Amino acid sequence: MCQRHPSHLCLGCGHAVTRRGFLKGCTAAALAVGGLTPAASPAVGPQDEKVRVGLIFLSKAGSSWPYPQYQADGRQQEILTLLRAGCPQVEFIPTVVEKPADVQQAIALKDQVDGYLVYVVTLMWSFQPAITQIGRLGKPLLLADEVLGGSGVLLCGYGDLNRQQIPAAVVASTRPADLIAVARQFADVRKPGTTPASFARQCQAAYRQTFPATGPMKCLDDPLRLPGIGQCVERFKKSRFLIVTQGKSGRQQNCLGAQAVYVGFDEFKSVYEKVDRDEAALWARRWTERAEKVIEPGAEPIQKAGGVYLATRELLKKYGTDSVTMNCLGGFSAGLLPAYPCLGFMQILDDGGQGVCQAMPDDSVSMLMARILTGRPGYVSNPVLDTSRNHVIYSHCVATTKALGPQGPTNPFRIRTLHDRDPRGVCNESLLPAGYMTTSFRVSIAEKKMIVHQAKAVGNLQADRGCRTQLVAEVRGDIGKLFDRWGATFDWHRITVYGDVKEPLIEFAKALGLQIIEEA
């Protein structure tokens, strides 16, 4: 636990936070681990009938977030006890949804409850439709996030509700009092004239009262000489990148003028089998020596990562590009990829190219725009919001160590297993620099849109949950708007580039014919 903030989760100073420290910061008290219990709520007057709320936990054992060994049952008991103590006028009826079919248990409560509180505990994408199913019941609805646990499902599920104009409120905070302040609004749902929409507005008004005051952000000087937008567009439309995934090699895709070239895993495997194993071991030693420390992985996975890097480099040379995105998770789990490409992607990013996870054309195009405009690598992440400090946590298992460009300073990194803690996997945890303004955005090729916000980098969380690199930044603007915008037309990812470059990036995007959405 951070010694500067022993009673609350530290997200700003960059100190390491243990799993136990993280959970202590998120709850009022440590409670015994166990199943959900029917503990009595504080008494209310005999003339008062308690409002009844279905407390639905979306929670699956073995999920990659917070991490596969996470004991969710104890956390659920903590949340239930916290809510019962803090909301004496409300009777919470807990139900755990562990698989998609279990949502019927939540729906069956419809005639017994006055509203629903859906608490997303773990990251399981099959839970996302459950949020909409409950929303369609027409009851007052509040969503809550286990920070660095269910965050992606919460943000994208809330986006689904917004697209379908289903009213709901949302809370994502590491401060327990914030959840209580909003959940107490359930006490008013039986008042005449209350609707799901008016309840959502009331909750959001109460939630905003918990937001910290914000003011001018003083950042480190970061001068950038940017090329003209016409030159950026010209370079962009001459660019190409590889998409390594299942299927045959050779198919091409036009991505706003840039060209994507598909490469099958069969071709990748044939190149991998020919790489020099001694050279692969050399790269493994280089990364190991450069790292601040190696925490979980053994030598063999790092050497295999060296081989994947060499094979990737050969394919880049063959196709005349320095940019690649790869179906890393699917390829490795299916046995089509001998190791994860994360360390190799770190090297490619540091050297001025780009390596992007998960075979994502939208992410690749966004990274390409950032690199052409600034000369710096982007950082793809799964962002998480914490309104208690006006923070966004950009979390992922691949990151550069040259955030200010190939000629800039190198920040420390550790060699870790990935978010799924599989001992066969290896990635880097990059301790990215603090004090700089950053610009985060993402392009939707299909919808011809770009969404963008800014935040000041303030440190690295290093919590033992979620993905390994965890850049923490203070949001510039209105963090409440981020909820409303997130997932409205985009999914979870954002691409972060160091630099106060929102305006020129918007100009670049408009020159490519994109509609702009400012989300904070």
Within a 10 A sphere around the Cβ of 110, how many other Cβ atoms? 13
Cβ neighbours of residue 180 closer than 8 Å, sequence gap 6 or more: 82, 83, 86, 87
Q: What's the pLDDT tens digit per position in 346-363?
A: 999 999 999 999 999 999
Q: What's the pLDDT tens digit per position in 235-265?
A: 999 999 999 999 999 999 999 999 999 999 9
Q: At what angle do helices 151-163 and 128-135 cross, to 10 degrees?
A: 40
- Give the HSE-up count for residue 10: Cα atoms under 13 Å, Cβ half-sphere: 18
More confident residue, 445 or 38: 445
Q: What's the pLDDT tens digit per position in 60-85?
A: 999 999 999 999 999 999 999 999 99
3-state secondary structure of 459: strand
Domain 229-518 CATH assignment equals 1.10.10: no
**229-518 and 31-39+49-208 share a CATH fold:** no
- Give the HSE-up count for residue 341: Cα atoms under 13 Å, Cβ half-sphere: 30
Domains of the chain, residue spans: 31-39+49-208, 229-518
- The structure's pTM equals 0.91
Residue 5: pLDDT above 50? no
CA distances from 380 to 173, 254, 297 (A): 23, 21, 23
Res. 37 pLDDT band, cuts 50 70 90: low
| pLDDT of res. 216 | 87
Burial of 119 (0-12, 13-18, 19+ CB in 10 A): buried
| pLDDT of res. 487 | 63
| pLDDT of res. 36 | 65
Dmax (CA) of the chain: 80
| pLDDT of res. 62 | 94
CA R_g for the chain = 23
Mean pLDDT of the chain: 91
User: Superfamily for 31-39+49-208?
Assistant: Response regulator (3.40.50.2300)
Residue 46: pLDDT above 80? no
| pLDDT of res. 10 | 41
Residue 32: pLDDT above 60? no
